Amino acid sequence: MAAPKWRIAMAADDAGVGYKNKIKADFENDPRVESVTDLVADGKADRALLICGTGLGVAITANKIKGVRAVTAHDSFSVERAVLSNNAQVLCMGERVIGLELARRLAKEWLGYVFDTSSASAAKVEVINELEKKL
């Protein structure tokens, strides 16, 4: 299955703005991604990429928002499983943890994964959704 054209939102704190700007430039040249201005105008996004010094603080913060599944991932396997096993819509990375080229590669890989609602992981994600309803 081909990856859809994602609408990506991005944010960074002062420790992550360098990578955010570079990865944003990569996304702007990727035909799967709409421009950030369209996202802002619509008030919607399919996924978000958040970058801070470690990727941890932004993940903790993002996970406070109902309906958001954010992960910190600094390797290909974790990025893959974040989407395919957990349907995570938010990828968080740390500028002080990984190099720029790896961050770029992981962001591109992340765009290529689509959660399969008929997969064995779908039941696990539904359990997460049900737990969240109790909050």
Catalytic residue numbers?
52
User: Residue 6: which of 105, 107, 111 has the closest Cα?
Assistant: 111
Residues 63 and 92 sit within 8 Å (Cβ to Cβ): no
User: Residue 13: which of 95, 71, 70 has the closest Cα?
Assistant: 95
Element (H, E) at 47: strand 47-52
Alpha carbons 81 and 66: distance in angstroms, whole number: 21
| Degrees, nearest 5: CA angle 42-46-48 | 100
Location of structure tokens 């499983």: 81
